[in-house]
Chains A and B, each alone.
Chain A
Amino acid sequence: MEKRLILFLLISGIMLACNEDISPDIKPFYIDLDVPEYMGTTVPFPERNPFSKEGIELGRMLFYDPILSSNNQVSCATCHKQELAFSDGMSLSTLGVSGEKLQRHTPALINLAWNNGLFWDGGAKDLESLAFAPLTHPDEMNQDITELVEELKQIPDYKERFKKVFGKDTIQSALIVRALAQFQRSLVSFDSKYDRYLKSGEAGFLNALELEGMQLVEEKCGGCHSGVNFTDLGFHNNGLDAEFPAAPEHVGKGRNRVTLNPEELGAFKTPTLRNIILTAPYMHDGRFKSIDEVLDHYAQNMVNSPTLDTLLTGQNDKIGIPISENEKQAIVAFLHTLTDLSFIQNQAFSNPFKK
């Protein structure tokens, strides 16, 4: 009896080894993420990385797990804090593994699925490809990707989750960044006071000052901060500097670093204005501490340079956007209506390890 059992087990074992297919019952639950009609009803995604319930959840775990860094102390959320609309409140972050100051300001993570390029210069073409940069940069997470893959393989829960999401009995770097991308694409913010106004179509949702501010933002800022997501997803030189030195690492050159187009020297990405009150300081280097400083910049402190955006060259040789003090008040009042408290309180976006 015993020998027959051994024989049976041996044969089954060998048969299993021949069969590389994964059984169909572990397929993930693919989903569409709903957004308001004015954003196209569902969140867009690249064909190779469709949303699944389990994929977003795995991405969320990875996003909050410091195992992703070399010293196991820094997670994505260290610099992308939900309460600050996934920004970090610092001009140039020093929260990475080395403690060294980063060269550009931590961007907020809001409605990223619609972006054409990520980073302030749009160098990363999608969220999947982007993730390798913060993961491996010595001043950010400083991770050796090959080691990270091995570390994750030692954790049965992760092994199982990767298998469920991607149908492969292994973990690979590409799968890590795909899961992270699914979670980050799911970070959509369309439940502000302004959205309730848009959805209802009733002016009553905004007061007179806010409505005036909305009008002013459209007139004075809408050249770049256009549409209901308040960004043209483009790159502009907005008169911060007269010169764009190449060192260090060309980061001051902006979009020109990526395209080598001389007309794009000093051009940086237009960020969304959504949740803008939560995401101070401002600009690609975090130089302005408050919205007031930002408005002062556009109104009177702009610096000329050959690539300054023609939208900002103004009239009568005076660069900048004329904004009166009263208009500034109205604009700030409107910008507050773009704060989405349910975005920063959404449990689905929060740290899954903190119960």
Chain B
Amino acid sequence: MKSIHIYTLIGLLITGLLSSCDDDDKMDPEMPGKVSLMLENKFGDANIDLSSTFTSSKGDKITFSGFEYIISNVELIKEDGSIYAVPDSYYFMGQRSGTDSKREMIEITDIPAGNYKGIKFYVGVDPETNANTDNYEKGELEGGVGMDWGWASGYKFIRWDGSYFNDAENKDVNFSFHIGTDANFKLISNEFGKTITINDDMTSQIHFEVMADKVFDAVGLNEIGLNFPPPADVKTFTGVMVGPEDKATAIANAYAEMFMLHHVHNMEMN
């Protein structure tokens, strides 16, 4: 009998101590809340996956082997216009063949309670942070995992790879859109058209559709052709790394316009 007593005591103690590790659990409208930022990758009406072939308005037939990009410097705009900047907000998004992970959702926690009317974020990495690639202090900016360049320090703001049907060659050839450099760091800014309440008592989601087709509508792969010198081991290749400059700029201008706010949810938690 006595042993039961002791184990009950242990149980209670553990429960007590464990909960003291966490932030206070009970619902409170004054306590910080969280929001999910959903970025759903689309090509027209279809969701992007790594097996389908998509056709752009220019007639390019495109299959992705990777569709990745970086979102950073997220700011939530309060009803009164003041801003909550999410600290160290750097996120690798999207998916790549050969890996299981597909990232379309960012969970932002510890947001001060309040009514919010808009969101800002960037595609890419701010110039200060983009100056070097050993940024372990900053969110998820792990170096050497494919989202940074080795030969010229800096991050790939978008890293889209795949193949398309090249009309002149009459076969599929590879393409790579690897766009970085400070000039291509692009602001995405949206007002919700209403306010959402963020606190410990609410659950919220901000949902964007990421319309990749807009980029391929602006920059035709067959129009670029094969004019970009290939890497040593790829014979037929259409690439826009950081250059040719004009193409990279056109792509960056287009990706700045591809984030379409779809809707926001705001619900009281049960």
Binding site for B on A (CB under 8 A): 3, 6-7, 10-11, 14-15, 17-18, 46, 48-49, 103, 119, 121, 123-126, 128-130, 132-137, 145-146, 172-175, 177-178, 181, 246-250, 257-258, 260
Verify B151–A124 contact, CB threshold 8 A.
Answer: yes
- Can you show 14 pairs from A to B with CB atoms below 8 A apart? A3-B3, A124-B150, A129-B133, A129-B153, A133-B151, A136-B144, A145-B142, A175-B136, A177-B143, A177-B144, A246-B229, A248-B229, A250-B229, A257-B151
On whether the beta carbons of B143 and A129 are closer than 8 Å, the reply is: yes
Contact of A248 among B18, B132, B231 (CB under 8 A): B231
Q: A173-B142, A173-B145, A258-B152 are in contact. Are A7 and B136 (CB under 8 A)?
A: no
- Chain B 9-34, CB-CB to A under 8 Å as 1, else 0, gives 11001100110110000000000000
Among residues of A, the one whose C-beta sits closest to the C-beta of B7 is A3
Given contact pairs A7-B13, A145-B145, A260 touches B230 in the complex (Cβ within 8 A) = no
Nearest A residue to B242 by beta-carbon distance? A260
The verdict on B168 contacting chain A, using a C-beta distance below 8 Å, is: no
Residues of A close to B269: CB separation below 8 A: none
Which A residue's beta carbon lies closest to that of B13?
A: A11
Residues B150 and A136 in contact, CB atoms below 8 Å apart: yes
- CB neighbours (8 Å) of B229 from chain A are 246-250
Q: A48 contacts which chain B residues (CB < 8 A)?
A: 134, 137
B139 lies within 8 A of chain A by Cβ: no
Nearest to A170 among chain B residues (CB) is B136
Residues of chain A with a CB closer than 8 A to B14's CB: 10, 14
- Give the size of the chain B interface in residues (CB under 8 angstroms): 35
Q: Which residue of A lies closest to B150 (CB)?
A: A133
Q: Is the CB of B232 within 8 A of A124?
A: no
Residues 240 to 268 of chain B near chain A (Cβ within 8 Å)? 242-243, 245
Q: Is the CB of B21 within 8 A of A17?
A: yes
Out of B6, B151, B245, which one reaches A123, CB within 8 Å?
Answer: B151
Cβ-based interface call for B148 (8 A): yes
> In the complex, what residues of B have CB within 8 A of residue A177's CB?
134, 143-144
A18-B21 in contact (CB<8A): yes
Residues of A contacting B134 in the complex (Cβ-Cβ under 8 angstroms): 48-49, 128-129, 173-174, 177-178, 181
Closest to B3 in A: A3
| Residue in B closest to A137 when the chains form the complex, CB atoms | B150
B131, B232, B243, B245: which contacts A125 (Cβ < 8 A)? B131
> Is the beta-carbon distance between B143 and A18 smaller than 8 angstroms?
no
Q: In this complex, what residue of B is CB-closest to A118? A: B153
B152, A124: Cβ atoms closer than 8 Å: yes
Chain A residue nearest in CB terms to B99:
A146
A130/B153 in contact, CB under 8 A: yes
Tell whether, in the assembled complex, residue A7 and residue B143 are in contact, meaning their CB atoms are under 8 Å apart.
no
In the docked arrangement, what's the CA distance between A248 and B243, Å? 15
Least Cβ–Cβ distance between B90 and chain A, in angstroms: 13
Number of A-B contacts (CB under 8 A): 108
Which chain B residue has the least Cβ–Cβ distance from A6?
B10
CB under 8 Å from chain A, chain B span 132-165: 132-137, 142-145, 148-154
Q: How far is the CA of A310 from the CA of B245 in the complex (A)?
A: 27
Q: Which of A18, A132, A134, A175 contacts B133 (CB 8 A)?
A: A132
B139 to chain A, nearest CB (A): 12
The one of A14, A126, A249 that contacts B231, using a Cβ cutoff of 8 Å: A249
Given A124-B151, A249-B232, A260-B242, 10 more contacts at CB 8 Å?
Answer: A3-B3, A14-B14, A14-B17, A129-B132, A129-B134, A130-B150, A133-B150, A174-B134, A174-B143, A260-B243
Q: Are B10 and A10 in contact (CB under 8 A)?
A: yes
Cα distance A123–B180 in the bound complex, in angstroms: 14
Q: Write the chain B residue with the least CB distance to A130.
A: B153
Q: Which 7 A-B pairs have the closest CB atoms?
A: A133-B150, A174-B136, A145-B144, A129-B153, A123-B152, A246-B229, A174-B134
Shortest B143–chain A CB gap in Å is 5
A172 touches B232 (CB 8 A): no
Bound complex: CA A30 to CA B133 (Å)? 23
CA distance A128 to B3 in the complex (A): 58
CB–CB B150/A14 < 8 A: no
Q: Which residue of B lies closest to A132 (CB)?
A: B144
CB distance from A297 to the nearest CB of B (A): 26
Contact call A132/B148, Cβ cutoff below 8 A: yes
The docked-state distance in angstroms from the alpha carbon of A174 to that of B152 is 16
Give CA–CA (A262, B89) in the complex, Å: 36
Nearest-Cβ distance from residue B225 to partner chain A, whole angstroms? 15
CA of A25 to CA of B214 in the docked complex: distance in angstroms? 55
Contacts of B152 in A (CB 8 A): 123-124, 257-258
B55 to chain A, nearest CB (A): 31
A84 to chain B, nearest CB (A): 24
Instruction: Give the residues in chain B near A49, CB-CB below 8 Å.
Output: 134
In the complex, what's the smallest C-beta–C-beta distance from A111 to chain B, in angstroms?
20
Bound CA–CA A135/B154 (angstroms):
16
A125 to B155 CA separation, bound complex (whole angstroms): 12
Give the chain B neighbours of A247 by CB distance below 8 A. Answer: 229-230, 232
Q: Is the CB of B13 within 8 A of A10?
A: yes
Q: In the complex, how many angstroms separate the beta carbon of B36 from the nearest chain A beta carbon?
A: 26
Interfacial chain A residues near B17, Cβ < 8 Å: 11, 14-15, 18
Contacts A3-B3, A173-B143; A119 near B132 (Cβ below 8 A): no
Query: Counting chain B CB atoms within 10 Å of each CB, which of A134, A137, A146 scores highest?
Result: A146
- A181 to B, closest residue via Cβ: B134
A124 touches B20 (CB 8 A): no
